[in-house]
Structure 1
Amino acid sequence: MIESTPAASPSATIDRRPISGRRVDLAHGAYTASIASVGASLRFLRHEGRDLVVAFDADEVRPAFRGAMLAPWPNRVVDGRYTFAGVDYQLALTEPSRGHALHGLAAWSDWELVASSTASATFQVVIEAQDGYPFRVQVAATYTLDDDGLRTEVEAVNLGDTDAPYGTGPHPYLVAGEGRVDDWTLELPASKVLTVTPDRLSPIAVEDFEGDDTRHFDFRTPRTIGDTFIDHAFTDLATDAHAGQVVVRVTSPGGTGVAMHWGDGLPWVQVHTADQPVPELDRLGLAVEPMTCPPDAFSTGTDLVVLAPNTPHRVSWTIAAL
């Protein structure tokens, strides 16, 4: 008689990690942070226990793109169509309501943790060649806490034999303190905005703040956001004379605040007031997304990064308490 081997217990193969991916907690001085491996997402960032970004739970499906790393493009590719090196491509439409390809291909991938310490962690993902994006690109994101806040560095390497189109940026929702977006003061050192269609948010033109339709986007002099709706990309960014970098500041009436600053390689920033139809979720935080390129750069070529084979591309930014 042949004896059968008992089947392995189902529990032996169950993945017990949180639904948002492997959780890595960091700490340095007054700062704490947590990164989730799905999307290499910033799950929370706190200073002396105060939230600096809108957080989400480890056992929660990340709400939309909250805190996610965006690659190989940030924002939208209109209709998912673009031409690169004379070849036409069609991406999957991941924003069905507007008919666009939104925020790249890595935001829902489970990134591999390749290095970690008490105050730093590096996650890595390979974006495999596929329909619409037949390029193989490796992206690494390193999060580091220090006295100046949370610094994120992103490095991309084209693993293929031909040039690849590329762009990146983060998607944090900054929290100034008590209240909501309407209550906070924004300082945004941009002198131009990319106007968009009201229905699909498709880019129209880069404009200054002289017109009636654009002057309400001028936050070079800090002022309260109020009921202003923003889901736009800004450029022509001025460098802070003291910091030597672009600095965006969001402050609350109580005097607390948060800043985000960055250097070369990120000439655009998307700002979004996080308007939601559900009252308890509406305008909880202000999305501030420094980007290597504007929306639809795959189509227009504006500030598009062309990754040569085996040539690293790096950018970084920092979020800090005020």
Structure 2
Amino acid sequence: MARTPVSGIQHTLRSGAYDASIASVGATLRTLRHDGRDLVVPFDADELRPNYRGTTLAPWPNRVVDGRYAFGGTDHQLSLTEPGRGHALHGLSPWLDFHVTDAGADHVTLSATIEPQAGYPWRVEVTTTFTLSSEGLTQTVTARNDSAEPAPWGTGPHPYLVAGPSALDTWTLRLPAGQVLLVTESRLIPTGLSRVDEADAARFDYREPRRLGSVEIDHAYTGLDRDEAGSVTVTLTDASGTGVAMTWDTACPWVQIHTADLPGGDITPGHRAGLAVEPMTCAPDAYNARTYDYDAGLVVLEPGADSSASWRIHAL
């Protein structure tokens, strides 16, 4: 009997010039290519997934500060999964093994249950479908609250996009977002919203396409400029003429951007290898939404109710 790879059971999808590999652990986008060109930073099937690369984040994306929050009149304490900063990071789903409920040559649907546990005493069924087409790879995530009480919810993906063969510093980013969430330097705790042209335009304002350069970003954006259909598109292009884009719907009013700066710099594998573009249904620390003076977008799932969000990665 063959041994299951470290990243779980592998699901290979193909459609036209696109191919993708989805790993069952964390419902993770492991590879995505167009005409053989990587659109996301890949990793090997038998490799421990680096830095949440490509995973599905649920029941919260980003951080819950100190792992503490109050909901429904009860105080909760989550396990601290980002010990360096002392936060609960990226939810509970990244290490769940998702099972197949439907599959074909160009699509796969995976499902897993978040069981009631310390810090999150609700049962939520998470189902996600990856579909390849001539328009790229679309992922849809749906949550259903199978508990008797309302549950807090948030989700998002964690791909590191790759524009082309040149270094990240040379890539051109267009990010149609008017506001950035400022954070403390060491622990990335939200301090307030600012207009991108007032906070630090050279660092945060990409409403007009321009090169990333040596800028370091690990911030959430909102105030997104949407098209007539309500969609937002972020584009990333390489000097060679190649590029990648990510488009998402109204379910995600936030997006986290991270230039993948890692401790140790260039000697650390994956350092600035791609740009993390993470559409999110809610802001960082949304479980503590009542403590902020802006709409953090926390979704409250009533018993038996569901909530969905989707996004698409495509070649330029």
Instruction: Measure, in 1, the Cα distance between the counterparts of 2:55 and 2:213.
Output: 26
Instruction: Measure, in 2, the Cα distance between the counterparts of 1:212 and 1:266.
Output: 23
Q: CA RMSD in A?
A: 1.3
- 1:232 alignment partner in structure 2: 219
Cα deviation digits, residues 257-296 of structure 1 (max 9, x gap): 0000011110000000001224142200000000000000
Q: Pairwise mapping of residues 1-322 of structure 1 onto structure 2 (< 5 A)? A: 16-211=3-198, 213=200, 215-240=202-227, 244-276=230-262, 277-279=264-266, 280-301=269-290, 302-322=296-316
Cα deviation digits, residues 171-201 of structure 1 (max 9, x gap): 0000000122211000000000000000001
Count of matched residue positions in the alignment of Structure 1 and Structure 2: 308
Instruction: Measure, in 2, the Cα distance between the counterparts of 1:244 and 1:110.
Output: 33
- The answer to whether the 8 Å contact 2:197/2:205 transfers is no
- 1:7 alignment partner in structure 2: none
Aligned in 2, Cα 1:155/1:208: closer, same or farther, shift over 3 Å?
A: same
What is the CA-CA distance between 1:214 and the residue it aligns to? 5.0
**Structure-1-length-normalised TM-score:** 0.93
Aligned residues: percent identity? 55
Instruction: Measure, in 2, the Cα distance between the counterparts of 1:59 and 1:139.
Output: 24
Structure number with greater Rg is 1
Instruction: Measure, in 2, the Cα distance between the counterparts of 1:294 and 1:93.
Output: 18
Instruction: Measure, in 1, the Cα distance between the counterparts of 2:173 and 2:285.
Output: 26
Instruction: Measure, in 2, the Cα distance between the counterparts of 1:189 and 1:319.
Output: 16
**Unmatched 5+ stretches in structure 2:** 291-295
Instruction: Measure, in 2, the Cα distance between the counterparts of 1:23 and 1:231.
Output: 30
SS of corresponding position for 2:180: strand
**Structure-2-length-normalised TM-score:** 0.95
Instruction: Measure, in 2, the Cα distance between the counterparts of 1:87 and 1:180.
Output: 48
Instruction: Measure, in 2, the Cα distance between the counterparts of 1:212 and 1:115.
Output: 46
Instruction: Measure, in 1, the Cα distance between the counterparts of 2:21 and 2:174.
Output: 27
SS of corresponding position for 2:79: coil
SS of corresponding position for 1:18: coil
Structure 1 runs of 4+ with >4 Å offset? none
SS of corresponding position for 2:64: strand
Instruction: Measure, in 2, the Cα distance between the counterparts of 1:182 and 1:247.
Output: 20
Paired residue type of 1:61: L
- The answer to whether the 8 Å contact 2:257/2:275 transfers is yes
SS of corresponding position for 1:79: helix
